[in-house]
Amino acid sequence: MIDIPRELAASQEKFNGEAGRAFIAGLPELTERFLDHWDLRPDGPAMHGVSALVLPVVRADGTAAVLKLQIPDEESEGEPVALRAWNGDGAVRLLDHDEPTGTMLLERLDETRMLSHVPDAHQAVVTIAELLAHLTSFPAPPGIRRLGDIAGAMLDRTPWALTRIPDPEARRLVADCAATVREVADEPGDRLLHWDLHDENVLASGRAPWLAIDPKPLAGDPGFELWPALDNRFDPDDIVWRFDAMTGILALDRPRAHAWTLGRLLQNTLWDIEDGRRVDDAQLEIARRLRARGL
The residues annotated as belonging to the active site are: 196
Per DSSP bridges, beta strands 191-193 and 103-107 are: unpaired
Helix H or strand E segment including 95? strand 94-98
* Count of residues making up the chain: 295
CA-CA-CA-CA torsion for 9, 14, 15, 20, nearest 10 degrees?
A: 40
Task: Name the residue type at position 113.
Answer: R
Any idea what DSSP says for residue 89? Answer: S
- 8 A C-beta contact, residue 67 and residue 105: yes
In whole angstroms, give the CA distance from residue 27 to residue 11: 14
- 8 A C-beta contact, residue 59 and residue 66: no
In whole angstroms, give the CA distance from residue 189 to residue 22: 38
Helix H or strand E segment including 290? helix 281-292
In whole angstroms, give the CA distance from residue 234 to residue 161: 25
3-class secondary-structure state, position 289: helix
Among 236, 63, 51, 212, which residue's Cα sits nearest to residue 131? 212
